[in-house]
Amino acid sequence: MAGRAATSSAKWAREFLFRRVSSNPLGATRNCSSVPGASSAPKVPHFSKKGRILTGATIGLAIAGGAYVSTADEATFCGWLFNATKVVNPFFALLDAEFAHKLAVSAAARGWVPREKRPDPAILGLEVWGRKFSNPIGLAAGFDKNAEATEGLLGMGFGFVEVGSVTPVPQEGNPKPRIFRLSEDGAIINRCGFNSEGIVVVAKRLGAQHGKRMLAETSGTSSSPGEEVKPGGKSGPGILGVNLGKNKTSEDAAADYVQGVHNLSQYADYLVINVSSPNTAGLRMLQGRKQLKDLVKKVQAARDEMQWGDEGPPPLLVKIAPDLSRGELEDIAAVALALHLDGLIISNTTVSRPDPVTNNPVATEAGGLSGKPLFALSTNMLREMYTLTRGKIPLIGCGGVSSGEDAYKKIRAGATLVQLYTGFAYGGPALIPQIKEELVSCLERDGFKSIHEAIGADHR
């Protein structure tokens, strides 16, 4: 078996190197397209000197990997490949923040990222909404806004990936620059403003991925030679969430979310109503008790009126802000329980500037703050919401997660699932297996035999 694994890895390395040498990854600058039907992978924008350094480093890793696989089995090589990304990742810090983001999405879309071949430990598996998650660690919305790289991102070992926010009509978002690093604080400030290629483009991409998955299942083949089709969601291994947003100029928010449901829900394992971005004027007003109740009712009705098979409609969640008062949290919890909402995501970015960010000159930039400084605020809010909903509604903990210990604290506070974004932006692909390994250690240390046993443990 080790010989076959080494042969397979060597073949992968040759193909990996060939793709890079025979293609030009540094093309013309790609702006957010508004052309319906544009379903191809994104073109990498030109960035001559630093781009060449990054490409050279990647090719060097491929050559080194090709030499290494002759003496390593597949699992060992897989671990080496994830660790090797630590060499490349610092180069991204030399690039403009938004350019680095586009480059990362493009790399994942083309499969130029490590692919996790090792199965997740059984202790991390869980079932939520009738869907099986191999692990509870997901990628939050905002990274793959236009569903360009779902296969590559899921392939890296995330238990689930959430794309979006997707708006009905394409829009450019707010003026650039709009993404700012606070590297010493492990934080990011963004004021992107729902830059989106729109429903038509995203639906076409998700439809193609869904069709590919269905073809693989019915034919007994897989997307890659020698690779088994793994159980997962509608987009393949792993679970896919779709985060819905509204257009900046829309006067009817509910109509925008309903349009998203009608066009994208058939490709989603779960849906999210995003009413908490601080970068779209008036959006957070939809978190008020009456406004949220009316909105959720309309979106639920739109979803339920569609034709669904045996698996039923996708679960519907709401993503809320971390800057809410106790009274506002009580109102949201009441709406969620009364309307049998399937879940809440806690939380989005914050407009506050918690310590130690207050001393950073970049903190004066407008926008939502994410990353390590958000951890305490979002986790405390998660703990409150678990109490208010009496543990009856699955909660996704999001905000400041950069280690397995962070993920574990979210779970103990009441999270069923956990998402990261900024931690991934700084830590790169190597952070994914690291978090899962650390999470397993945390569970075993405290005597838990499953994720389900640890959920809400701090309340018991």
Angle CA(263)–CA(268)–CA(274) in degrees, nearest 5?
80
Q: What is the pLDDT of residues 358-375, one digit of tens each?
A: 999 999 999 999 999 999
Q: How far apart are CA 439 and CA 445, in angstroms?
A: 10
DSSP 187-239: EEEE-----B--HHHHHHHHHHHHHHHHHHHHHT--SSTT-PPPPEETTEEBE
Give whichever of 221-230, 276-285, 390-399 has the largest mean pLDDT. 390-399
Please pick, among 277, 370, 378, 402, the residue that the annotation labels catalytic. Answer: 277
Length, in residues, of the chain: 460
Q: Are 240 and 267 in contact (CB under 8 A)?
A: yes
Q: What is the pLDDT of residues 270-329, one digit of tens each?
A: 999 999 999 898 889 999 999 999 999 999 999 999 999 888 999 999 999 999 999 999
Q: What is the structure's pLDDT at 233?
A: 74
Given a cut of 90, is residue 75 above it in pLDDT? no
Give the bridge partners for 408, in sequence order: none
- Residue showing tokens 């679960």: 315
Task: Grade residue 212 by pLDDT with cuts at 50, 70 and 90.
Answer: confident
- Residue showing tokens 């914050």: 350
- Residue 177 DSSP label: P
- Other Cβ atoms less than 10 A from the Cβ of 263: the count is 20
Identify the weakest region by mean pLDDT among 31-35, 124-128, 242-246, 366-370.
31-35
For this structure, is 23 an active site residue?
Answer: no
Which helix (H) or strand (E) is 153 found in, with range?
helix 150-155
Angle CA(160)–CA(163)–CA(166) in degrees, nearest 5?
155
Q: What is the structure's pLDDT at 209?
A: 86
Q: How far apart are CA 138 and CA 160, in angstroms?
A: 5
Q: What is the pLDDT of residues 234-279, one digit of tens each?
A: 766 789 999 999 999 999 999 999 999 999 999 999 999 999 999 8
Task: Grade residue 174 by pLDDT with cuts at 50, 70 and 90.
Answer: very high
The average pLDDT across 119-130 equals 96
Q: What is the structure's pLDDT at 68?
A: 52
Q: What is the structure's pLDDT at 248?
A: 94
More confident residue, 186 or 236: 186
Q: What is the structure's pLDDT at 94?
A: 92
- Residue 119 DSSP label: P
Given a cut of 60, is residue 33 above it in pLDDT? no
- Residue showing tokens 């809440």: 344
The average pLDDT across 395-400 equals 98
Both structure tokens of 202: 């995203």
Q: How far apart are CA 189 and CA 167, in angstroms?
A: 21
Q: What is the structure's pLDDT at 237?
A: 73
Task: Grade residue 22 by pLDDT with cuts at 50, 70 and 90.
Answer: very low
The average pLDDT across 329-350 equals 97
Q: What is the pLDDT of residues 80-111, one digit of tens each?
A: 899 989 998 889 989 999 999 999 999 999 99
Q: Are 428 and 90 in contact (CB under 8 A)?
A: no
Helix (H, G, I), strand (E, B) or coil at 421: coil
DSSP 24-60: ----S-------TT--SPPPPPP-HHHHHHHHHHHHH
Amino acid at 417: L
Given a cut of 80, is residue 200 above it in pLDDT? yes
Q: What is the structure's pLDDT at 4?
A: 46
Q: Are 408 and 356 in contact (CB under 8 A)?
A: no
Task: Grade residue 350 by pLDDT with cuts at 50, 70 and 90.
Answer: very high
Mean pLDDT, rounded, of the chain: 86
Q: What is the pLDDT of residues 409-418, one digit of tens each?
A: 999 999 999 9
Q: What is the structure's pLDDT at 54?
A: 61
Given a cut of 80, is residue 72 above it in pLDDT? no
Can you give the pTM of this predicted structure?
Answer: 0.83
Within 13 Å of residue 17, how many CA atoms lie on the same side as its CB?
14
In 59-159, the DSSP E strands lie at: 126-128, 131-133, 137-139
Given a cut of 90, is residue 154 above it in pLDDT? yes
Q: Are 132 and 231 in contact (CB under 8 A)?
A: yes
Q: What is the structure's pLDDT at 89?
A: 87
